[in-house]
Structure 1
Amino acid sequence: MKASKRIFVWIIISLILQCSVYLFLDKFYYAEEGNIKINKDTTTDDQQKKVTPNVVFGNNVKNISLSDDLNYTAYLSNGHVIVVDTNTGKVRGNLNYSSGIQCLSYKWVPSTDRIMIVEKISPSQIRFYSYDAENQVKSEVDDTLNKRINSVPAGQTANMQISDLTGLLYIKVGYNSIRDNIYRIDRNETLTRSVTGRNIGAIALASDDDQLAYEDLGSGTIRTNYKLKTYIAISGVSRPSIIGTDSNDNFYIGNGREQSSVVYYGKLTENTSAWKKIQLGSMVNNDSIVVKENGNVYIVDREKSTVTDVKSNKSYNYQGNFCEINDEYIVYTNGGKLMIKQMK
Structure 2
Amino acid sequence: MDVKELHSLHAQEANPVEQLYRSYRTLAFSIAYRMLGTVSDAEDAVQDLFADMVGRNLDDVRHIKAYIAKWMTNRCLNVLQSSRRTRETYFGEWLPEPIVEQGEQPDQVAERADSLSYAYMVMLERMTPMERAVFLLREVFEYEYEEIADTVGKSTSNCRKILSRAKEHAREYSPSASQDTEARRTLVSKFVTAFQQYDMEALLSLLSEDVRLTTDGGGKVHAAMRPIIGRSRVLRLLTSPKAFVALRSWDLSFTMVNTSMNMVYREQGVVKAVCCCELTAKQDRISNVYVIFNPDKLDHISL
TM over 0.5: no
Higher relative strand content: 1
| Larger RCO (CA within 8 A; separation ≥ 6) | 2
Higher relative helix content: 2
Normalising by structure 1, we get a TM-score of 0.27
Tell which structure's C-alpha radius of gyration is larger: 1
